[in-house]
């Protein structure tokens, strides 16, 4: 049995789950946001040291100890019943129970258990590990020290970009913003003292021939080249994706780069990872970052790479 943890309307989950169900696989899709109002969970420990975990939903009791694979896709936190008078306390109790339950399952978890995903998503940790594995990295500074930033800016003659240490989505004054990699401007330099309030990642700009998205599923690699330099929208960050002007094609990685990608995912404890590289005009592959739970349908559809089928095969194999 396969359990998929995700929210409603997840097209990625649908693309993987529907063929599995059509092939006769026992797949349960569960959104933790329906707990505790529309679902029950229980964890019982017996005197002999055994544990039993059960999900109750729609009249069915699902013994989670019988799972062969868990896909930790994009689950939401539990949602508290509006009648509860202490919602913050109850929300925390529900969240800690669900996280403890998912983290304790002994089956294959894709991409990994939640604590492993959280650690793998930390960019400072990624960069250090990638460098130890032999990847070329951009010259990088992570700091909230304005003087260090200005020194780095001068040493690289102003050809630097900044990006957030972790999330690229923020909310301020009721509005939501996307924070992508962006070149440092003279105005940014003039306001360098504001850096004391929040650290950022500063990197020397790396010339790009193409950007490369490497999706690792188990031991299988899917690489696609993103011709981001043909559009001003994507010149500094392909996530400003311009579908009408940004060609995406399959890419053949050198054997050594493929080996490093597989080793990086393995060393991070992941069964899945989406790695971003730059291929420079002189043919070097430079590591930027890895998303341990990155989206893949856009690259599958644009480059014709069967990523969802590979995810389905990995879940079907199961294991620990």
User: Of the candidates 147, 151, 139, which has an alpha carbon nearest to the alpha carbon of residue 195?
Assistant: 147
Q: Is the pLDDT of residue 46 over 80?
A: yes
Task: Give the pLDDT mean for 108-120.
Answer: 96
The model's pLDDT over 275-304, given as tens digits with 9 standing for 90+, comes to 999 999 999 999 999 999 999 999 999 999
Whether 183 and 236 map to the same domain: the answer is: no
- Long-range contacts formed by 80-83: CB under 8 A, 24+ apart: 80/36, 80/37, 81/36, 81/37
Of 147, 180, 204, the residue at which a domain comes to its end is 204
Of 52, 85, 106, the residue at which a domain comes to its end is 106
In 94-114, which positions are buried (b, 16+ CB within 10 angstroms) versus exposed (e)?
Answer: beebbbebbeebebbbbbbbb
Q: How far apart are CA 18 and CA 111, in angstroms?
A: 19
- 214 or 247: which leads in pLDDT: 214
Q: How far apart are CA 17 and CA 315, in angstroms?
A: 10
Task: Give the pLDDT mean for 227-246.
Answer: 59
State the total domains in the chain. 3
Whether 212 and 301 map to the same domain: the answer is: yes
pLDDT reported for residue 180: 72
Helix 255-267, helix 123-132: angle, nearest 10? 130
Q: What share of the chain is helix, strand, coil (3-state, %, to 5)?
A: 35, 30, 35
The model's pLDDT over 119-135, given as tens digits with 9 standing for 90+, comes to 999 999 999 999 999 99
Task: Give the pLDDT mean for 48-52.
Answer: 91
Length of the chain: 320
185, 262, 307 from 256: Cα distances, Å: 36, 10, 22
Whether 31 and 90 map to the same domain: the answer is: yes
- Residue 20: DSSP 8-state: H
Whether 249 and 299 map to the same domain: the answer is: yes
Whether 7 and 101 map to the same domain: the answer is: yes
pLDDT reported for residue 178: 62
- Residue 93: DSSP 8-state: H
pLDDT reported for residue 93: 96
Whether 101 and 8 map to the same domain: the answer is: yes
Residues spanned by the domain of 167: 139-204
Residue showing tokens 């790695």: 275
Residue 320 lies in a domain: no
Task: Give the pLDDT mean for 34-58.
Answer: 94
The model's pLDDT over 175-221, given as tens digits with 9 standing for 90+, comes to 766 667 889 988 889 989 999 999 999 999 999 999 999 999 999 99
Mean pLDDT of the chain: 91
Residue 42 lies in a domain: yes
Does the pTM of the predicted model rise above 0.85?
A: yes
What whole-number percentage of the chain has pLDDT above 90? Answer: 82
Q: How far apart are CA 203 and CA 141, in angstroms?
A: 6
Task: Give the pLDDT mean for 215-244.
Answer: 73
pLDDT reported for residue 170: 65
Task: Give the pLDDT mean for 147-163.
Answer: 95
Whether 8 and 101 map to the same domain: the answer is: yes
pLDDT reported for residue 166: 83
């Amino acid at each position: 049995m396969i359990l998929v943890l995700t929210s409603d309307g997840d097209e990625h989950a649908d693309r993987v789950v529907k063929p599995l169900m059509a092939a006769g696989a026992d797949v349960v899709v569960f959104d933790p946001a329906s707990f505790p109002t529309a679902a029950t969970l229980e964890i019982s420990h017996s005197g002999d040291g055994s544990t039993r975990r059960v999900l109750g939903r729609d009249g069915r009791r699902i013994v989670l100890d019988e799972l062969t694979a868990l896909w930790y896709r994009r689950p939401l936190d539990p949602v508290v019943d509006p009648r509860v008078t202490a919602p913050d306390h109850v929300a925390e109790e529900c969240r800690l129970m669900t996280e403890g339950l998912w983290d304790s399952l002994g089956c294959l978890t894709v991409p990994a258990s939640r604590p492993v995903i959280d650690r793998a998503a930390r960019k400072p940790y990624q960069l250090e590990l990638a460098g130890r594995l032999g990847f070329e990295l951009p010259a990088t500074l992570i700091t909230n020290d304005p003087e260090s930033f200005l020194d780095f800016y001068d040493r690289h003659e102003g050809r630097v970009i900044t990006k957030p240490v972790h999330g690229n989505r923020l909310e301020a004054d009721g509005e939501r913003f996307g924070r992508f990699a962006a070149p440092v401007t003279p105005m940014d330099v003039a306001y360098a003292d504001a850096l004391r309030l929040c650290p950022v990642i500063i990197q020397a700009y790396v010339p790009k021939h193409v950007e490369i998205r490497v999706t690792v599923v188990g031991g299988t690699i899917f690489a696609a080249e993103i011709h981001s330099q043909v559009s001003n929208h994507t010149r500094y960050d392909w996530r400003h994706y311009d579908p009408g002007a940004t060609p995406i094609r399959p890419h053949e990685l050198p054997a050594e780069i493929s080996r490093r990608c597989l080793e990086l995912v393995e060393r991070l404890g992941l069964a899945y990872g989406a790695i971003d590289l730059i291929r420079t005009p002189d043919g070097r592959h430079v590591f930027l970052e890895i998303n341990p739970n990155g989206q893949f349908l856009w690259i599958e559809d644009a480059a014709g790479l069967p990523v969802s089928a590979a995810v389905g095969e990995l879940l079907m194999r199961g294991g620990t």
